[in-house]
Amino acid sequence: MKKFLKKAKGVFAVGLAAVLLSTSAVATEDYDSVLPDYLQSDESGGTLNYNVATGEVTYTPASETESYSNETEGFSPGYDPFANEDDDSENSIQPYMADNRVKVNNPQNDGRCRNTVYIEVTLQSGKVISGSGFMIGPNAVATCGHLVCDDGFGEDGKSWSWAKSAKVYPALNTGTNQAPYGFAYSTNFICGRDWAKNLNFEDDWGIIILDSNIGNKVGWLGLRWQSDSYNGEHIMVNGYPNIKGNSWDMYMCRGTISASYPKLLYSKNAYISQGNSGGPCYIDSNETGYTAIGISSHHPWNSDDAVFCRITETVFNEFIKYRVSTL
C-alpha cells in the first residue's frame, strides 16, 4: 500500500509540474509606471489642462466646475455669423452614398457644417493622426479624448502622453476653396482626468484651445444635455473619414439613436469610420436649431455601430466655459 501511495504522490507531483509548465511567463507592461505623477492618485472626476508650449498641466477638481443648467437638462444656443445670408446647404449635400453618407462639397456655405473642423494632431514621436471636431466658442474646439492624449502618443511610439500639437482647419475641403477660413494651432489640450487615467471610452471627450478666434468666423453649434433618453432621435453626424486615402473632405451621415446610456449614445444606422473621431453628433431641433448632443468616438466590441460620447451635464458645463474667448 505504501508503494502505491508513493506512486500516487509521484503522479500528483507530475501533475503539478505539468500545470506549472503550462503556465507560461506573462509578459506584462506596468501601465501605471508610465503614467505621469498627476495621474497616479485614485481621485476621479475633474479636468486636466495641458499647456502645449510649456508642458505644464493644471488640474481642476469637479467641485470647482460651475454649473450652467438645471438638474435634468441644459441648453446653450449656437452662433452662426452668416445666419442672415442664404446658404446652399441642400445643394452641397447630394447625393447620399450607399452607406448613408454624403460628401459635403462646400461646407463653408452650410451653417451646420462650416463649424466642423479637420484636426491634424502631431504626436511626440512625430507620427500624425487626423480626426474631426467642432467649434464650441471663439477659440475652442470640442473633440474626443483620444485625439489629445492616449497610449502610444509618447516619443517611443508606445507610452502614454499628451499630443505634441494640433492644427485645426474649419470647413476643410478639396474643392476650389480648400481652407476657406485658414487654420489655427493648439495652445492647450483639455480632457477629463478619467479619460487620461483610464482611457475609458465613456469619458472620451476633449477640448483644443486655439491660438486665434477662428470660431468667430464660422460660428458654433448649440449644445444640449438631458437626463432623458434620446432613443429614436434623428441625428446628423459630420466628420472627416478617410476614404480611399483622402481625409480632407467632409462627410455627413444621418441616422437615429438606437440606445441611450448615461455617458454613451449608440446608432445602428449612422455610418462612421476612421477619421470621424471627435466630430459632432447633432440634432435639428425646432426649439434649439442645430444642436450637438454627442461626439463621435468608437465602434463597440462586437459591431460596427456608431458610438458617441454623450454630452452629459459634466461635459456640457466644461464646454460652456469656453463659449467666450480665452485669448
Partner 1 sequence: MTVKRIISSIMVCAAVFTLSSCKSTVKDDFYEDDLPQPTISEIPEMTTEFTEYDGNTEKISVTITNNSNKNFNHGEQFFLQKLDDEWRYIKCQGPWNLANYMIKPSQDVITTFDLKEHVRLPLLPGLYRIGFYEDKGESTPVAEFTIKE
**Residues in touch with partner 1 (CB under 8 A):** 1, 4-5, 8-9, 11-12, 15-16, 18-19, 22, 24-29, 120, 125-131, 144, 146-147, 151-152, 156-158, 201, 204, 240-242, 244-245, 247, 272-277, 296-302, 304, 307
Nearest to 118 by CA among 247, 220, 27: 247
d(C-alpha 94, C-alpha 74), whole Å: 33
Beta bridge partners of 48: 59, 191
Q: To the nearest whole angstrom, how small is the minimum distance from the Cβ of residue 4 to partner 1?
A: 6
- The residue among 55 and 126 lying less far from partner 1, judged by its C-beta, is 126
- Cell triple for 295: 461626439
Return the number of the residue (15 or 61) whose C-beta is nearest partner 1: 15
C-beta of 268: minimal distance to partner 1 in Å?
15
CB of 88 to partner 1, least distance (A): 28
Residues near 33 by beta carbon (within 8 Å), at least 6 away in sequence: none
Contact present, 285 and 270 (Cβ < 8 Å) = no
Q: How far is the CB of 154 from partner 1 (least distance, A)?
A: 10
- Cα 151 from Cα 158, distance rounded (Å): 6
AA letter at 197:
K
Cβ nearer to partner 1, comparing 47 with 277: 277
Closest approach of partner 1 to the CB of residue 320, in Å: 25
What's the N-to-C CA distance of the chain in angstroms?
89
Q: Output 26 or 90, the one with its CB closest to partner 1.
A: 26
- Classified as helix, coil or strand, 171 is coil
* Residue 129 or 236 with smaller CB distance to partner 1: 129
